[in-house]
Amino acid sequence: MHEWALAEAILASAKRVAEQENLKEVTEVTIKVGELQQAEPPILRFALSQMKTETDLFKNAKFHILKAKSTLTCRVCATTWQFNLKKLDKTTAEAIHFVPEVAHTFVKCPKCGSPDFEIVSGRGVWLQDIKGAK
């Protein structure tokens, strides 16, 4: 249930931004979640809805969760490709869900077969936009 930890971090970061922007109330938060982060949007949204009530700053906030595609680049042959988590079997997808770094064990370059690749995008969580009232 790392979605709860993510929700806590998202709210803490959004609070810092709101304070920097002198917002009295946050009305919308747009969050981008990398595909390799494997956060379940419904669980993350639920966690945010439960945690937001802990402060008046977020009491009316709406959270928009967008998914960022994963792009990988092979360090051997420089091939760049889009990673598709849905093409993995359930056991492999679950292993990557709990420990994303093991992706190198299961994912190979489609051109040369090397497991030595860089995750260019699609890992992590970003606050894309915060709206509110001053």
pLDDT digits (tens, 9 = 90+) for 88-112: 888 888 887 777 778 888 899 999 9
Q: Is the pLDDT of residue 38 over 80?
A: no
pLDDT of residue 41: 92
For 16, the domain range is 2-69+122-133
Higher pLDDT, 62 or 35: 62
The C-alpha atoms of residue 15 and residue 121 are separated, in whole angstroms, by 25
Do 110 and 52 have their domain in common?
A: no
Do 7 and 59 have their domain in common?
A: yes
Do 14 and 62 have their domain in common?
A: yes
Number of domains, the chain: 2
Do 34 and 99 have their domain in common?
A: no
What CATH number should be reported for the domain holding residue 97?
2.20.28
Do 11 and 65 have their domain in common?
A: yes
How many residues in total does the chain contain? 134
**Amino acid (one-letter) located at 62:** K
